[in-house]
Structure 1
Amino acid sequence: MLPWIAMIWVPSYNKVEPQLFEFPFFYWYQLLWVLISAVITALVYFKTKAKSAKSSKAQPQGGAR
């Protein structure tokens, strides 16, 4: 949700200064959010994976007879 809000509010990053390695703010700000979004997605994935692994160990294996 946070990356979506940051990208939908265009006036907050619609500027040239400050530049980073000669890239205008407009471009490097968006690329930074791509990286932040990837980190957020990875955190959610690993937290969800850890929870599902714990819950699957607690339940007995096998089917109904």
Structure 2
Amino acid sequence: MSDTPEVRDPVVTPARVAIAVCLLAPFVALLWVGSYAKTDPAFIGIPFFYWYQMLWVLVSTALTMTAYKLWQRDQRARHGGNR
């Protein structure tokens, strides 16, 4: 048995922090209802409360896709590009 400890990649990396931010941002933005519980400014007649939430559907999609791509890149880097 060797006395040399096994060297592992760090669990918390900048890419993983970015992934966490991408996935948590929609939750924070939409759970903080007091920030968007109003009617003005209206957009094409739709109160702010509704169009803000609909905008987050698109933003959340983009952020989730970004997180997925970052995760794929992180996994390829950790496994030496075998995939």
TM-score category (smaller protein):
0.7 to 0.9
Candidates 32, 51, 54, aligned match of 2:74: 51
* TM-score after normalising by structure 1: 0.74
Q: Deviations over 1:26-63 (max 9, x none)?
A: 0000011111111010011112223334435359xxxx
> What aligned pairs does 1:1-65 form with structure 2 within 5 A after superposition?
1-54=24-77, 55-58=79-82
Q: List runs of 5+ in structure 1 lacking aligned partners.
A: 60-65
CA distance in 2: counterparts of 1:14 and 1:57, whole angstroms: 47
| Greater RCO, 1 or 2 (C-alpha within 8 Å, sep 6+) | 2
Aligned length: 58
CA distance in 2: counterparts of 1:5 and 1:51, whole angstroms: 25
SS in 1 for 2:43: coil
Aligned Cα root-mean-square deviation (Å): 1.6
Q: What percent identity do the matched residue pairs reach?
A: 37
Report the structure, 1 or 2, having the larger helix content. Answer: 1
CA distance in 1: counterparts of 2:75 and 2:44, whole angstroms: 43
